[in-house]
Amino acid sequence: MEQWERLIEILLDERASDAERDDAAMDLSGYSHEAVIEALAVIIKDDSVDDMIKASCGESLAMIFILKNRFEEKIYNELKGIAKIEFDGSTRSQKGEWRKYLNKET
pLDDT digits (tens, 9 = 90+) for 30-89: 999 999 999 999 999 999 999 999 999 999 999 999 999 999 999 999 999 999 999 999
Structural domain boundaries in the chain: 3-99
Longest dimension (CA), the chain: 41
pTM: 0.93
DSSP H or E run through 85: helix 81-94
What's the rounded Cα separation, in Å, for the pair 27 and 38? 15
What's the rounded Cα separation, in Å, for the pair 88 and 82? 10
pLDDT for res 10: 98
Is it the case that residue 104 has pLDDT exceeding 60? Answer: no
